[in-house]
Amino acid sequence: MHSALEDKEKPFLHPRQRAIIPVPLQFHSVQQYCALIAHNLLAEFYHVYREGPKGGGMRGMATGGALMVEGANVEDGMMQHLISVGGSLHIVTNQTLTGLEGMALTVKPKLQAHGSVQVKSYGYIGSYMSGNRAATAPPRPAPRAPTRAPAAARVRAARKAEPRGCPASRAGGADEARRGQHAEQRARVDFEPEP
């Protein structure tokens, strides 16, 4: 299972057969869960790869790391498609339309072939790549507890929030405001009806 956690693109560029592992009812850790999900995802991907390229091949011209293809399905695009160029697998990372039936593709890893090539598409594999990336991502650090501002900073913030003319905003007004609050509380107690 550990191989699923290694290089994020290697399993797609060098597919290998994997047996699907039954999912237990409980996991011992988050790492065990992620490793199992990544492994089973790659096992499913292998079945897609084993089915072979979809549709007919396309003509292509490899020049300077770019791949110009004709006969591509321009309406659907080819982003994150797994393609075979001259027998080697590549993932499409960028595309630019060049006409009604043509595209310029950027692929990973960089093309080694030059000149006229036969291109075959295995189809869209972006969901497998995203799932594998999510399952193999390093765990996020736990959020830190909020820090308390020093007492002087809290007092300054409270004074800024008070409206102008409030007794607490004048010099010595804080004591007056407290005395006024206590007087209001005593007055409420005095006016409550007796049961």
Assigned domain for 33 exists: yes
The reply to whether 40 and 68 lie within a common domain is no
Query: Pick from 30, 50, 70: which residue ends a domain?
Result: 50
Residue of 188 and 20 predicted with greater confidence: 20
At 28, list the tokens: 């011992």
The reply to whether 178 and 119 lie within a common domain is no
The reply to whether 120 and 60 lie within a common domain is yes
Query: Pick from 89, 107, 124: which residue ends a domain?
Result: 124
> Residues 74, 66: contact at Cβ < 8 Å?
no
How big is the CA angle at 151 (ends 145 and 155), to the nearest 5 degrees?
A: 115
Domain with 175 in it: 151-191
| In the predicted structure, residue 174 carries a pLDDT above the cut 70 | no
The CATH number of the domain holding residue 80 is: 2.40.30.20
The reply to whether 77 and 108 lie within a common domain is yes
Assigned domain for 105 exists: yes
Q: How far apart are CA 75 and CA 35, in angstroms?
A: 36
The reply to whether 169 and 184 lie within a common domain is yes
Assigned domain for 129 exists: no
- pLDDT single digits (tens) 21-72: 999 999 998 888 989 999 999 999 999 899 888 777 788 888 877 888 887 6
Q: Which pLDDT score, from 0 to 100, does residue 31 have?
A: 87
Average pLDDT on 143-159 reads 69
- pLDDT single digits (tens) 76-87: 788 899 998 888
- pLDDT single digits (tens) 94-134: 988 887 778 888 898 988 878 888 888 888 898 899 888 88
Q: Which pLDDT score, from 0 to 100, does residue 143 have?
A: 75
Predicted model pTM: 0.62
CA distances from 66 to 19, 58, 75, 103, 167 (A): 36, 15, 20, 10, 74
> pLDDT class for 75, splitting at 50, 70, 90?
low
SS3 177: helix
Assigned domain for 74 exists: yes
The reply to whether 118 and 160 lie within a common domain is no
At 122, list the tokens: 């295995």
Q: How far apart are CA 34 and CA 136, in angstroms?
A: 7
Assigned domain for 92 exists: yes
At 33, list the tokens: 């869960």
> Residues 18, 43: contact at Cβ < 8 Å?
yes
Q: How far apart are CA 78 and CA 28, in angstroms?
A: 40
Assigned domain for 138 exists: no
Identity at 92, one-letter amino acid code: V
Q: How many CB atoms lie within 10 A of CB 11?
A: 25
SS3 111: coil
The reply to whether 68 and 120 lie within a common domain is yes
The reply to whether 118 and 64 lie within a common domain is yes
Number of domains in the chain: 3
Assigned domain for 132 exists: no
Assigned domain for 159 exists: yes
The reply to whether 157 and 183 lie within a common domain is yes
Hunting for tokens 């913030």 — which residue is that? 157
Q: How far apart are CA 50 and CA 72, in angstroms?
A: 22
The reply to whether 64 and 110 lie within a common domain is yes
